[in-house]
Amino acid sequence: MTHEMSPTGVAVLLLLAIAIDYISIGPNWLRDRLAFLMAIPAVYEGFNNSTADHWTFQRLTGFLEWALDQPILSGAYIGGASASAVLGILVFAVWLYGLGAILPAKFSARLGRIATINFPPSGVWAINWRLWIVAIVLGLLGDVPVAWVGDLTQGTNELLADIMSPIPRLLLGGN
C-alpha cells in the first residue's frame, strides 16, 4: 500500500475531521458530510494493514465463523458460507449506508430510499458516533470485499485519500 499522506498529514486530517464534528462547525448537512469524507481516508491511510486492522478482521471473521457453526445451522447449506465473503458483503452494506447518508435527499426521486438516509445530528460538543462507526468500518475493512464490490469500496477509499491528501499540506506546508 502506498500512502498519499505522511503520518503527520493523517493525524492532521483525522483531528480536523474530529474537530469539525465535535465543535459542530457549519450546518449539519455540510458538517456531517465533510467530517465523514475526511474520516474515511484518515482511518484508511492511518490504520489499514495495521495490527488494529488485522485484529478487527480476525475478530469479526471469527465471530462469523462461530455463528455459521452454531447447531441451529447444522446441516444447513448456508453453514458452509465463507466468513470473509459474508464480512465483505456486510462491509458493502455499510458502504451503501454511508453513500446514502451523504447523498442529498432530493436524489430520492431517482434513487429511492437510499438517498433519504442521514446521520442523526449530534449536538454541539458531541461526536456523531454513527458517522464515526461507519467511517472506521469503511477505513479499516474497505479492502475486505472482493470483485466489483471490492473495487467500489477499495476504490472509494483510495479516491478519498487522493482528494483529501492536499488538505494537510495546505494547512501545514510541506507535510
Average pLDDT, the chain: 92
Burial per residue of 117-138, b for 16 or more beta-carbon CB atoms within 10 angstroms, e otherwise: bbbeebeeeeebebbbebbbbb
State residue 40's pLDDT score.
98
The predicted-structure confidence for 53-78, as pLDDT tens digits, reads as follows: 999 999 999 999 999 999 888 888 98
pTM score:
0.91
Residue 140 has pLDDT above 90, yes or no: yes
Cell of 57: 478482521
Residue 174 has pLDDT above 70, yes or no: no
Q: Give residue limits of the domains in the chain.
A: 7-172
Which pLDDT band, with edges at 50, 70 and 90, does 26 fall under?
Answer: confident
State residue 42's pLDDT score.
97
Pick from 104, 129, 128: which is nearest to 114 by CA? 104
- Sign, CA dihedral 58-87-50-119, equals negative
Average of pLDDT values for 111-120? 90
Choose the weakest-confidence range: 26-40, 51-65, 74-88, 116-130.
116-130
The predicted-structure confidence for 34-43, as pLDDT tens digits, reads as follows: 999 999 999 9
Residue 175 has pLDDT above 60, yes or no: no
Residue 88 has pLDDT above 90, yes or no: yes
Residue 120 has pLDDT above 90, yes or no: no
